[in-house]
Structure formats: structure tokens, C-alpha cells
Amino acid sequence: MIKRLQYVDIGKRLGMMMIVWMHIWGNNSYDFTPPILLNGNIGKIYVPLFFVLSGYLIKINTESVKTDILKKVKSILRPFAVMYVFPFIVSYVLSLLGIGAKHAFEWTNFFNPLFSRTFFNGPLWFLLALFGAFLLFYALVKLCKDKELYLLLASLVLGCIGFYLGRINITLPLFIGQGFVGCPMLMIGYLIKKYIGQHLTENRYWAICIGIVGILLFVILSKGLSMQSNSYEGFYLLFLLGITGGSLFFLSVSVLLEKYLPFVAYWGRYSLIVL
């Protein structure tokens, strides 16, 4: 049986807490709103972090691509289908009862994900984008035949395409444009695990140093983004370096606090956002 990495579950939960924070306090101007600097920085990393953590768990093997894709169908598309169809039915029932909801019920809204539009259970766009990123990544694994350098370069090219599609207002169906941008983030997670993971988890001082380097990279290079609308500021490679720095910081924090936050790992493990 494969042992779960508890610190990854902690990192996942920290990302979820940032998402909740931003949805409650991130976009209002009340007196108790936290400083805009904090919200601005959280908004630059809380979604990309999940892509990087997902990549951290990838094992590249050309022979197992088909099996890996089937696993992602079960772990990503199945929860998406349940959490998409059930709220749609609830939305319909509420409309029959005359009870208002945030999004007025319309039959045509059922197809909004096909056109990468906001829909009644909007946060689920992430699952479609994540699945798309995995499909693209595994396709590259097959094409590059386990050659890591080629895989890195190819994922960077795909990410660049997705990054600049947003600049010219081209929207791909099923949030696949966001999946293009997420593909190199999966690669970043994979490379962190392969080349830094052991230092990160086995040496506390290494974890502290990696965390410091990570937060410096993030503060200096990170730019504003909205992955749901596939909109990004700055230049592509600097954008990825900023995300790498932020992910290193949160992974380091998760490793350093692992023994003190087992309940946080539990929340991360049993969330609806499936890695």
C-alpha cells in the first residue's frame, strides 16, 4: 500500500484555507478586510499551488500512462460529475419553488463548462482544468519517451501557448486553456519532488533554507493572475518562477509543521479537491 505524504495533505489544506479566505475577504472593502498586500499575494499562488502539489505526486512511466489516465478519470471527473449534476438538479428544484439563488436557473447553463463560462457551481472549473493538464502532461510523457529534458521543454511550450491565449482573448472549451497553463506546473511539482524532495523532508535546515529562497522568489517575481479566466500579468517564465517560489515556501512550511498539524492533514486528505 502506498503511504500518503502527510505534508502534501497539509499543503493542500493550506491552499484550501487561502481559497476560503479570498472568497470571504479577498474582494471586499470593509474595515475588517485584511491588508490588500496579503490578499494580493494569496491570489497569486492559491490556485497554482494545487497544480504543483498534484505534479509533486506524479511518477513518470511511459508504460503506465493509460492506467494513470483511468485513475484520473475516477479521482477527478467522477467527483466533478457528481458535484456538477446534483447542484444543477437542486438549482432546478429551487427555481420551481420560487426560491432565489446566486445564479438564476437556466437550462442552457448546463453547457457553460463546454464553453469555459462561469456556471452555477463555478469552483468546479478547477477539476476540468486539472484533468486537462494531466491529459496534456501524460500525452507529452508518451511522446517524449521518458526523456526528462524534452518533457520539460514541451510542457513549457504548452504552458506558453495557454498563457498567451488569454492575452489575445481566445477561449478553449472545457477550461483546457487553463489546463495548458497548468501543464508546466505539474512538471514543476515533479521536478521539486525528484531533485529537492529528499532535502526538503529529511533535513530541517534545508527545509528552512528552501522556504526562504522560495518566499524571496515569490515576493520578487510573482504577478497577478486569474486562472479561472486564463488571465495573467507579466512575462511567462517569470510567472512560472514566482509560482515555483511560492510552492517551495508552502511545501517547506508544510514539512516543518507536519508533526504539529496532523488534523490539518486530515482535512486536506478528505477534501473535495482531489489530487
Mean residue pLDDT across the chain: 87
> How far is it, in rounded angstroms, from Cα 85 to Cα 102?
17
Lowest pLDDT segment from 179-183, 185-189, 238-242, 255-259: 255-259
Lowest pLDDT segment from 2-6, 66-70, 93-97, 152-156: 2-6
DSSP-derived pairing of the beta strands 231-232 and 225-226: antiparallel
User: pLDDT (tens digit, 9 = 90+) per residue, 190-249?
Assistant: 999 999 999 899 899 999 999 999 999 999 999 889 999 999 999 999 999 999 999 999
Greater confidence, 160 or 11? 160
pLDDT at 31 (0 to 100): 52
What average pLDDT does this structure show over 59-70?
Answer: 86
Closest CA to 68 of 9, 133, 23: 133
Percent of the chain predicted with pLDDT > 90: 50
Q: Residue 22: pLDDT above 90? A: no
Q: Residue 39: pLDDT above 50? A: yes
pTM of the model: 0.90
User: pLDDT (tens digit, 9 = 90+) per residue, 218-231?
Assistant: 999 998 899 999 99
Percent of the chain predicted with pLDDT > 70: 90
Phi, psi of 141 (to 5 degrees): -60, -45
pLDDT at 26 (0 to 100): 67
Are the C-beta atoms of 182 and 126 separated by less than 8 Å? no
Are the C-beta atoms of 245 and 215 separated by less than 8 Å? yes
pLDDT at 274 (0 to 100): 43
Lowest pLDDT segment from 8-12, 48-52, 147-151, 202-206: 8-12
User: How does residue 188 score in pLDDT terms, banded at 50, 70 and 90?
Assistant: very high
Greater confidence, 129 or 65? 129
> How far is it, in rounded angstroms, from Cα 114 to Cα 234?
28
Query: 18, exposed or middle or buried, with CB in 10 Å at 0-12, 13-18, 19+?
Result: buried
pLDDT at 123 (0 to 100): 81
pLDDT at 35 (0 to 100): 58
Q: Residue 275: pLDDT above 70? A: no
Measured N-to-C along each axis, helices 48-56 and 176-195 cross at an angle, to the nearest 10 degrees, of: 50
Beta bridge mates, 172: none
